[in-house]
Amino acid sequence: MSEWTRRGFVTKAAAAFTIVQPQAVRGTQANSKVAFGLIGAGGRGTYDASIVHRDPRAQVVALCDLFEDRLQAASKQLQLTNPALFRDFEKLLASPGIDAVIIATPPFEHPRMLEAAVQARKHIFCEKPMGVDLEGCQRVIRAGRQANPKICISVGFQQRYGPVYLEAYRRIQEGQIGELANARGFWIANDPFQRRPYDDPKIEKLRNWFCYREYSGDIIVEQDCHNLDVLHWFLGSLPIRAVGMGGRKVRTNMDILDHLTLSYEFPNGFHVNFEANQLSPAGFSKVGEEFTGTKGVMLTSRSRTVHIRGRNDQETIPAPRDITIDAFEQFVGRILSGNVENVAERSALSTLIAILGRTAIYEKREVQWKEFGALA
pLDDT on residue 26: 55
The helix/strand/coil state of 53 is helix
- Reading the chain (376 residues) residue by residue, the pLDDT tens digits are 333 433 333 333 333 333 333 344 454 444 589 999 999 999 999 999 999 999 999 999 999 999 999 999 999 999 999 999 999 999 999 999 999 999 999 999 999 999 999 999 999 999 999 999 999 999 999 999 999 999 999 999 999 999 999 999 999 999 999 999 999 999 999 999 889 999 999 999 999 999 999 999 999 999 999 999 999 999 999 999 999 999 999 999 899 999 999 999 999 999 999 999 999 998 899 999 999 999 999 999 999 999 999 999 999 999 999 999 999 999 999 999 999 999 999 999 999 999 999 999 999 999 999 999 978 6
**What is the DSSP secondary structure assignment for residue 158, as one 8-state letter?**
G
> What are the residues facing 289 on neighbouring strands?
185, 300
In order of their start, the domains of the chain are: 2-159+327-343 (3.40.50.720), 161-320+354-372 (3.30.360.10)
Longest dimension (CA), the chain: 65
Calpha distance 85→64 (Å, rounded): 6
Calpha distance 347→77 (Å, rounded): 30
CA distances from 274 to 134, 184, 360 (A): 21, 6, 13
Taking Cα atoms as reference points, which of 155, 191, 167, 183 lies closest to residue 317? 167
pLDDT on residue 131: 98
Q: Are 78 and 54 in contact (CB under 8 A)?
A: no
Rounded to 5°, the CA angle 239-360-155 comes to 55
